[in-house]
Structure 1
Amino acid sequence: MDLCEECGFGYDAVAAGDVPGRLGEFAPRFAGALAGVSDIRARPAPDVWSPLEYTCHVRDVLRVQGERLDLALRADAPEFAPMGRDELVITAAYNRQDPAAVLAALGSAAGLLATAFAALSPGQLDRIGLYPWPEPVPRTLLWLGRHTVHEGEHHLMDINRQAA
């Protein structure tokens, strides 16, 4: 995936040097988005996550992508395990979590991942890992960073849609 048909996010529009800053902006942007929703735990439809669930998901994406980045720097062509995104909504009880704690953890995870991406050399950004979604495909660490930015942007759009 290099262009999201739903939100219009173009992966190539994010330069390598922009990845850390874009990741670092997520904590205040998610806090602002949640503040604009009257009921952050409400699902607009059974198959659509609540704003809090989207925020928990992005927090966990940031954590998992950090683990994947670490693995790809230690091993050649690692295979990244799926994160179980749909299962985590239920097993981690996303909709019962404390929003302030979720936002704090999202900010911490975003900051750590931004710092890690800022430290990568061009050669490290070219390292490959087998990304599991939507099907296993070899991806560079630069793509991993861009995809993580996309996850945040896309789910901010999802939350803002519910606020409208």
Structure 2
Amino acid sequence: MERCGECGFVDADLPRAEVAPALHGLAHQFAARLRGTGAAALRRRPAPAVWSPLEYGAHVRDVLVVQRERILRALIHDGPTYAPMRRDERVVEQRDNESDPATVADQLGSAAAQLAHLVAGLTDEEWDRVGIYPWPAQVARDVDWIARHTVHELVHHLFDVARTLQGPTGTPHGLGSG
């Protein structure tokens, strides 16, 4: 990946040994944001096609859970095909914007800890295991890419939340199937 035009993240700049600590640190930042912001501000969608900060938090929680499952599948099976996570549908079906922010923060932290524990113990061969990733198009991705992409998701959505809480609508995120 080249530098993300919005958040500035470059996955190649993140050493494997720093993935697990990055997941912990970013989850802590996200949880602190959810706990330190009023519920009304967390639930406010700045535009119909832009998630609220609380919805971004719930999405990040879900990403951490789904990515851990994808990595586990790649470790167990040769070339598994991953189902799309249905991110937009989840927000509605789970009524994420009605969730308790502290509960989402706790769940996000727990999911990050579980994923970080998994990636911290990977061997070089396991980092290279491959699965068929569904987004943006079906393509073979190794565990290394999945782990770094997950860190990018956290970085990017922290950026989205900060932008949303500051007021300007910006570019809608949370649209599509990841």
Q: TM-score range by the shorter chain?
A: over 0.9
Partner of 1:151: 153
After TM superposition, the score normalised by the length of structure 2 is 0.88
Distance 2:154 2:125 in 1: 25
Of 105, 108, 124, which aligns to 2:107? 105
For residue 25 of structure 1, give the secondary structure of its aligned residue in structure 2: helix
1-structure distance, mates of 2:31, 2:111: 14
- Could you say which residue in structure 1 is the equivalent of 2:44? 42
Long gaps (5+) in structure 1: none
| Counterpart pick for 1:61 among 60, 63, 74 | 63
Give the 3-state SS of the residue equivalent to 2:28 in structure 1. helix
CA distance in 1, matches of 2:74, 2:67: 10
User: Stretches of 4+ moved more than 3 A in 1?
Assistant: none
2:98 maps to 96
Superposed CA deviations along residues 21-54 of structure 1, whole A, max 9, x for unmatched, are 0011133201332325661000011110000000
RMSD: 1.3
Partners in 2 of 1:31 and 1:109 — Cα distance?
12
Structure 2 match to 1:33? 33
- Normalising by the residue count of structure 1, what TM-score does the alignment of the two structures yield? 0.95
Contact 2:41 2:165 in 1 (8 A): no
Q: What does 1:18-29 correspond to in 2, within 5 Å?
A: 18-29=18-29
Q: Which residue of 2 aligns with 1:121?
A: 123
State the Cα distance separating 1:4 from its structure 2 match. 2.1
In the superposition, relative to structure 1, how do residues 2 and 145 fare at CA in structure 2: closer, same or farther (>3 Å)?
A: farther
Equivalent residues in 2 for 1:66-85 (5 A)?
66-85=68-87
The whole-number CA distance in structure 2 between the counterparts of 1:25 and 1:110 is 9
Counterpart secondary structure, 2:6: coil
SS of 1:81 mapped into structure 2 = coil
Is contact 1:24–1:110 with CA below 8 Å preserved after alignment? Answer: yes
Superposition deviation, residue 102 in structure 1: 0.6
